[in-house]
Copies of this chain bind each other. A is one copy, B any other.
Amino acid sequence: MSRPTPNPTLTLKDIAREAGVSLATVDRVLHQRPGVRPGTVKRVRDAIERHDFRPLAAAADLARGRTIRFAFVMRVGSNLFMQQILSHLSDMKGWLSARRIVVEAITTDIFNPETLARTLDSLHGRFDGVAVVALDHPGVRTAIDDLIDSGTHVVTLVSDVPSSRRLHYVGIENIAAGRTAGTLVGRLIGPRKGKVAIVAGSRGLRDHAERIFGFGQVLSSEFPQLEVLAPAEGRDEDNLSEDLTARLLGAHLDLIGLYNVGAGTQGVAKAVIDSGRASEIVFVGHDLTNFTRRLLLRGVMDAVIVQDPGHEARAAVRVLLALVRREPILLEQEKIRIDIIMRDNMP
């Protein structure tokens, strides 16, 4: 059974001739449009498969020749990670405009499901695709589903709403990320006994909640000598996070592990450094920024869990594009990995 070597210079016309039909009919079969007799469909399909034929992407693009519009909806504020995503999007400008793709960033600082839902509602009919950093809330879920019903392709980004009908989630599995943090903290602490603290943004955020869950899972099952304290909620703000961390450090002199689940890393780190106990505390957090880079180099942080913002920006665009063009999504390529960054493998 030898695979026919695909002759790379075949065209639709050749297939048409071989199947004894016209160009238009082949096109119909290719795009599973109605109005072709089953027998004809089969003949065309056979001819296509016989040569493993693929229509030339460039020609299809050119002929369709429509400008494609995408929106990225997210709350940004001072969140460095979100800013990085936006900055990588604008790095793609050249690539995008050579394909007549327009990406609009719709940002807000408001952290409120109702507002997000209303924003999504306002997008009906205006975009071919929408990537949204969602809050997992019934109102948001409904807004996503409505948007999809209006004919817009929707993917979630960074934070998922699994109960919605979004076509894809571009981001990491947060339970696994939390477990990874747990393993790192546990293993790097080694045989010592003591307490471990968690500082999160809010347990209302699905991604934070999942990370906390995964972290606790690993610590309780595999590192019973470590006592995990109840998570503090620092709302991803530096000042508040610093206060909370300082308080934790003061109250627990046997604190030897610290997991910062969200942003606010700068505040947490300041408290750790000021306590003079940086070298005895294993400190793990998320996202690579100028701050966390420096903290890794100084040995204040021991590891950072990373989801590559550049990869996420590009993956979101590519997935939306594939959906618009009804092309297959390359799952392996678009999957976002949970990266562990330590001092020596910083990119």
Binding site for B on A (CB under 8 A): 6, 8-9, 52, 54-62, 67, 88, 91, 94-95, 97-100, 102, 176-177, 179-180, 182-184, 187-188, 190-191, 214, 218, 302, 308, 310, 314, 328, 330, 332-333, 335, 337-345, 347
Contacts and interface: CB of A to CB of B under 8 A. Distances in A.
Given A8-B100, A95-B330, A176 B335 contact: no
A178 to B, nearest CB: 9
Oligomer: number of copies:
2
A60 B99 CA distance: 11
A182 B61 CA distance: 49
Contacts of A310: 332-333
Contacts of A55: 98
A290 to B, nearest CB: 16
Contacts of A58: 57-62, 99
23 contacts: A8-B102, A54-B94, A54-B98, A57-B98, A58-B58, A59-B62, A62-B62, A91-B332, A94-B328, A176-B345, A179-B344, A183-B342, A183-B343, A183-B344, A188-B188, A190-B191, A310-B333, A314-B333, A337-B339, A337-B347, A338-B347, A339-B339, A339-B345
A126 B95 CA distance: 29
Given A54-B94, A98-B56, A100-B8, A335 B347 contact: yes
A179 B297 CA distance: 14
Contacts of A345: 176-177, 179-180, 337-340
Contacts of A339: 337, 339-340, 345
Contacts of A177: 345
Contacts of A88: 332
Contacts of A180: 342, 344-345
Contacts of A52: 97
Nearest to A332: B310
Contacts of A98: 54-57
Contacts of A100: 8-9, 56
A81 to B, nearest CB: 16
A183 B308 CA distance: 22
A54 B97 contact: yes
A300 to B, nearest CB: 15
Contacts of A314: 333
A298 to B, nearest CB: 14
Nearest to A191: B190
A262 B343 CA distance: 22
A276 B222 CA distance: 21
Given A180-B342, A187-B188, A345-B340, A56 B62 contact: yes
Nearest to A53: B97
